[in-house]
Structure 1
Amino acid sequence: MENLRKIIHNRRTGEQVVPSEPTDNEIEVFEESVLISEIDKYGFITYANRRYVELSGFPKKTLIGAHYTIDRHPDMPEGLFHARDEIVARKKVWRGYVKNLCRDGSFYWTLTYMQPKLDSESDIVGYTLTRKKAYAAAIEEIEKKYAALQGKAHIGHDFFMRGELYHGEELATNK
C-alpha cells in the first residue's frame, strides 16, 4: 500500500512531522494498557496519556498540538474513518479496530472507542479516544476485510457503519 507521507504540522510548536515508512515490526499492546487521547473539534491532540506517548514513540510535545492523524497507518481504509466521523457527529460512541503507526514505522493494533465531548449546550467540543489491546482472534479477519475495502468506492460500505455502539448511546449525552 502506498504511504502518502502527509506532513503533520503541530499548531502549538510549529514542528513538522513526516510519518515514517511502515515496517513489519509489530509492537505488543499489553493487556493492562489503556491508551487515552483527547482531540479538539478540529482534530488536534489536546491530551495524551503516558502509555499512548510511550507506545507511539512520539514525544508528548510532538503529539500535543499535532493532528490526530499523526499515527494513522496507511493500511487503514478511508471508509472506516468516514463512518467513524459520521457516527460521532451524531453524538454516538464509535468502536473499531485500528492499526496505528509508530514514529519509527512499527505498528500496533488497538480496539478503539471514540466518544464526543459535549459542552453544556450539548455541542461537540472535542473527542475522547480510548484504546485497549485488540482481540488477537479478530485481527486476522479484520486485516483481510480492511484490505478488501480499500479505496473511495467503499467509503459508505455498511461494514464500517457497524462500529456504532448502540449500547453506548447514554455515554455521549450530557443529560
Structure 2
Amino acid sequence: MVRQEIDGAELGLGSGLLTQGLKLGQSIHAYVRCNQSFHLFKEARPAIFIGNGSGIAGLLAHLKQRIDDVQYQNWLIYGERQSTFDHVFSEDLETWQRLGQITTINRVFSRDKSSEKYVQDVLRKHANEFKHWVEQGACIYLCGSLNMAQGIDDALVEILGAKQINALRKAGHYRRDVY
C-alpha cells in the first residue's frame, strides 16, 4: 500500500515515483527492510493492533498471519481521513470480524465530524477494555505515522502508567513500526 505524499506542490520522492512516475509494466529495483522489533509474538496471546494511514499494511499482514494460525483474539483500532473515501480493506476486515477471527474493530476518521477523531481517542474511550486485554497478556502492535505514535504513547501512559508501558516494551509486548 502506498499513500501519495505531497509536500507543497511536490510529490514525495518514493510515493511520487510509485504513484505517478512509473509507466504500466515498468519495473524498479527495490528491497524490503525487515523490522526485527515488529514481528509477531510467538506465543498464542491476545493482540491489539493500532495504526493509521498506510500503517494498515503492516497490521493487515499480522492479522492475516494470526488468522492463518487460528489465533482469533484480535482487536484492531485504525484511523483514516474520511469515511466517504478511506475504507481500505473493509471487505476483508468485516469478513474476518463476521467469522469471529477479529474480536473488535474500531475505525475513526479524522476529517469527519465525530467525537472520536483519532485512534488515541478510541483508546481513552475504551480504557477499561484495553486494560483488561493487557491484563490478559495482550501484545500491542503499533504501525503508522510518528505523529500518531506520540499520541498513542501519551494515551497509553494515561491509561496504564509509564512503568507498565516500559515493562511491556521490555517484555516485547509493545511493538512499533512507525515512520
What range is the shorter-chain TM-score in?
under 0.3
Normalised by the length of structure 2, the TM-score is 0.24
Structure with greater Cα Rg: 2
Normalised by the length of structure 1, the TM-score is 0.25
Higher-strand-fraction structure: 1
Higher-helix-fraction structure: 2
